[in-house]
A and B are shown apart, each in its own frame.
Chain A
């Protein structure tokens, strides 16, 4: 029995069964998008801009078309021109015109790697040769790479038609939007403060870094129907966006979810899918496109670099009284950075009476950003959690005590207004405070310990689930949420728990877009919350029907049948033997036919997530290299369905956060060309860079959810950059205000500090 925090005893929820898709994945049998082949299949490749910002004067494909084996070449001239219309795409909305212009550049290239043309040929090598034969004439324009530069008057303009409300209809701009959030009066608040800290932070653009490059196989049939096999976080998003970009109706596209090799938000939009269908339509053959790693880094959607100013004030006794933040995020070439989320998360862990947050979405000559695990929140927390750490020090308080004094709790107003319901910020702080790690002493030179907290909203959105009862008493759970991290197992566990069947008698199935109702992306930490809820309701639908069938057999009314502990029995005992689902299943034909349970949901009442991360590290004083010695993360997980995969989310998010903190960054030269397009130079953590990762799951159930589930995937990436920065401060005395805190940056800061203290000492002599 697995005990739960809400007093319910579960048989299956809270245990750690082996995932149903596990054997396929350890034997190499699981089919990812790039593993699909079809008879007569062609291979597609994409020609990409070598310039950060340029006008396309002409494209000549004549020589390329003449190459034997080349079957089709497309440019933006082959796509319909779309209006500036917003289309919902999971967590975000996408401007369809911009989406189309990102898939194939129209008149202008806006970043190094921007797609210009696509080729289909009989082999990938021939398609590559054809790319070299396409002649594109460019008129190179000056690029603008940083938000600070892009916001200046007279900066090069990326999009001629971009306007914002404040500057009016006549003013060209790179600022796509300005948002403001306000509570109380910050000026009055700062007047009450005994200590005020104000800092400016810069964070670098980083990539999700999934190991599997994007892929798509498109098959267009002569009857006008198309099928796409691809690795995506959302089959229904691929369907609607591909249909919109190609100007065909959604119902004519079926998207089949391949296994997906990581996404972290980066696979919630389309790049290759419309091209695969278009090239298939022109050639009559299936067309497969896969990206190289360089293409993934240059031309998919990383997350924003940013400039953030954060000013916070506290009274002597450690109460936060005011917070003022200014955030500007790189959107990439088209509007739509996660700066709004950054603004709404930056002060959320704390109950601060007076706040003012300004946020700017700014276009620059970089790839259009996409979602990345708690989009926008890690940059923001780097700023606020560093300032909080400084204030705690000023007040002479332990950083956890300071946070506990100010922590958001049930009823604290959120940045957007309405108060938090049941949340676990305080519980994560208490968990770290009581951990063996926190109580242990960190000794040795150049070592430091840092702590930081983080917040993420999580989302609900739409899901569908179908459960089929088979004649041998096994059941299949059909869902539309693709499985990136073990969610099939969790869905099966929910069904098994409700139906009282063995976990191995449940087969979870991820279905294509024709075979399941609309289901939004696997993202926003929503799969166990929302799809799990739908599966729970579908299982309840089965229970209702089982009662009806048993009632028929026992010649009773359905309401006279009870279902408990997996057994159906009459409410009033009269010697009838209770029956399990397994015993009733073979008798369904005689009691009315098969049983199918169904449920759909547009999930409300999302439980937001908090995490607190504790890091020990050692800094090499000669090189500035940081070695992480120990990490513990405490997270409010609501209710852990499959604890091993919940821990996995916490560990994986922490690892990505540490990479973001220490090494990862997009490095552009002065012409706006990306110089680190491989995984040797875009340096993600290896298992030598990281220690064992300790996890503490705190369970504060989400009210309203039948199982108390809270999304767990995203929030663990939020605290690590600030926790690492705070630990570096304890180790070296240096406050780092820039990400990543790579060896050269940290060494420079340490040398500067040493030079300052040397000259101070000299002056004292």
Chain B
């Protein structure tokens, strides 16, 4: 029998003390121990991003982190994204742009997009695609997801800073990214 460990952490702004087995991932702890089932399991290998949460300001696949490692960290999950009954601008834009079909990848995309906009409130389309490349969506072809994040930056998060998201042609975005990859 594996002995459980006590973990003190902060989740969605509230202090949490929890018991978990050392082998349990953060995703498992969130879902099975804390009933925060908004974070989804798609692969358990960090390839799909459906379990993305924000840990101390960084987007992290919660399936690749142990629950025990949450000790002392500040964790935000999709359940903590809205401000009470008011949706976060990203949530609102995802709805307006019909950015979700089945919705299973949506929590992960929202958290990756939030982590991006928190650091870079005025990203280019290329930067948005780069930041979301760790999240797989099989329904939408990404078009409406990217448009929602562009819109959220333009009208919401980034509006106070700069006001406008530069638009580039797809070829420019691609070249931009390929050059970055070469460097």
Contact = CB atoms under 8 A, between A and B. Distances in A.
A709 B1 CA distance: 59
Interface string B1-34: 1000000000000000000010100000001100
Contact of A30 (B77, B95, B103, B177): B103
A627 B101 contact: no
A486 B98 contact: yes
A216 B87 CA distance: 31
A212 interface: yes
A680 B140 contact: no
B104 interface: yes
Interface in B50-107: 50, 77-79, 81-82, 87, 91, 94-98, 100-107
Contacts of B110: 26
Contact of B48 (A19, A211, A648): A211
Interface in A118-154: 125
Contacts of B96: 18
Nearest to B146: A687
A293 B40 CA distance: 13
B104 A262 contact: yes
Interface residues of B, number: 63
B44 A212 contact: no
A688 B110 CA distance: 17
Given A23-B87, A30-B103, A210-B138, A293 B43 contact: yes
Contact of A261 (B31, B40, B87, B129): B40
B30 to A, nearest CB: 10
Contact of A211 (B91, B136, B143): B136
A688 B178 CA distance: 10
A678 B43 CA distance: 7
A656 B110 CA distance: 22
State which size class the interface on A falls in: 35 or more
Nearest to A482: B102
B144 interface: yes
Given A648-B144, A651-B141, A679-B47, A684 B103 contact: no
Given A26-B87, A27-B82, A212-B104, A262 B170 contact: no
A680 B47 contact: yes
B91 to A, nearest CB: 4
B136 A686 contact: yes
A597 interface: no
Contacts of B104: 32, 210-212, 259, 261-262
B39 interface: yes
Contacts of A259: 102-104
B100 A22 contact: yes
B102 A18 contact: no
A31 interface: yes
Contacts of A688: 129-130, 133, 177
B138 to A, nearest CB: 5
Nearest to A43: B32
A25 B103 contact: yes
Interface in B101-137: 101-107, 110, 129-130, 132-137
Interface of A: 16, 18-19, 21-23, 25-32, 34-35, 37, 68, 125, 208-213, 259-264, 290, 292-293, 484-486, 618, 627, 629-630, 642, 644-645, 647-648, 651-652, 654-656, 678-680, 684-688, 690-693
15 contacts: A18-B95, A28-B36, A34-B40, A68-B1, A125-B21, A210-B138, A211-B40, A212-B50, A261-B103, A293-B43, A618-B174, A629-B174, A651-B141, A679-B43, A687-B146
